[in-house]
Amino acid sequence: MAPRPDVSEKRRTEIVEAAAHVFAEKGFDGARMDDIVQEAGLSKGLLYWYFKSKDAIIVALLERLLRPELDRVQALARAPGAARERLLTFAESMVQDIERMERLMPITFDFYSIAFRNKTMKKTFREFFRIFTDGIQQVIDQGIGNGEFRKVDSRRVALALMAASEGSILLWVFDRSLSDLAQLRLSMELILRGIEHREARTARERMGGKGTGE
C-alpha cells in the first residue's frame, strides 16, 4: 500500500506560498492574517490551526526561502571537482535562484529589518550564516589540502566570500546601474584568485581555465 500523502505539510506549504504573495504586495507590516486567509482560500480557524501568528508564518517563509541554498552549500563539500570551480558553480546557482525569485526580493530585505528587533528571526539568520560559512569553509580547506589554495585563514575567506555575495545582491537590488548579477561571480573569482597557488593558477590557465576578469 502506498503511503498516504502528508496533507498537513502540503497545507502548510500552500499557506506559506499564499503569504509570500501577500507580503510581496503589502509588506510584512501592511499584511493581515485576513489577507492571507483570502489568498490561501482557507477559513481563519484553519489558518490559525497551522500558524498561531503572522510572525510564525514569516519565520516559516524565511526558512523556506533559505532551505535550497543551505542544502546546496552543504552538498558542496561532497561534490566532485576542483574547489575553485565548485565555488564558482555555486555562485552561478545563486544567481539563477535570485533571478527566479526576483519578485520576492523585497521580502528578503524586509527580513533583515525585522531581524534587528525579532530574536527568533535573528536566530534563524544566525544559523543560516553559520551553515553557509561552514560549507564554504570546508571547500576552501579542501582546496588548501589539494594544493589549489595557499594556506590561509579559511574561516575569514569564507566570510569574505559570503560578504561579497550579499553585497553584490544588495547593489543589484537597489541600483542595477552599479551592479548586475555577474558581479557576484566576479567578486568571488577575485577573492579566490587572491588565495590561489601560483602553480595551480598557471596549470589551470595552460589548460584554458581562465576565468572572468583574469
Amino acid in position 134: D
Lowest mean pLDDT among 8-17, 143-152, 170-179: 170-179
**What is the phi/psi pair of residue 4, to 5°?**
-70, 140
pLDDT(98) > 80: no
**Please, what is the angle between helix 33-40 and helix 54-76, to 10°?**
70
Other beta carbons less than 10 A from residue 201's beta carbon: 18
Predicted pLDDT of residue 2 = 44
Residue 78 — φ and ψ, nearest 5°? -95, -10
pTM of the model: 0.75
pLDDT of residue 178: 63
Q: What is the mean pLDDT of residues 166-191?
A: 77
Can you tell me the mean pLDDT for 105-133? 80
Say how many CA atoms lie within 13 Å of 186 toward its Cβ.
11
Amino acid at 136: I
**What is the model's pLDDT at position 209?**
54
The rounded distance, in Å, linking the Cα atoms of 117 and 107 is 16
Mean pLDDT for the chain overall = 82
Higher-confidence residue of 198 and 160: namely 160
In the chain, pLDDT over 90 holds for what percent of residues?
Answer: 24
Q: Please check whether residue 137 is in contact with residue 160, taking contact to mean a CB–CB distance below 8 angstroms.
A: no
What per-residue confidence (pLDDT) applies to 214?
A: 44
Closest to 139 measured CA to CA, from 161, 168, 164, 169: 161
Quick one: pLDDT at residue 7? 56
pLDDT at 115 over 80: no
Query: Do 73 and 35 touch, CB atoms closer than 8 A?
Result: no
**Is residue 46 pLDDT above 80, yes or no?**
yes
Q: Which amino acid is at 17?
A: E
Long-range CB pairs of 206-211 (<8 Å, 24+ gap) are 211/88
**Separation between Cα atoms, residue 28 and residue 47, nearest integer Å:** 17
b (16+ CB within 10 A) / e for 150-183: eeeebeebbbbbbebbeebbebbeeeeeebebeb
Using alpha carbons, select from 63, 57, 56, 55 the residue that is nearest to residue 124: 63
* CA-angle at 56, arms to 54 and 57, nearest 5°: 65
Query: What are the structural domains, with CATH classification, of the chain?
Result: 1-52 (1.10.10.60), 65-206 (1.10.357.10)
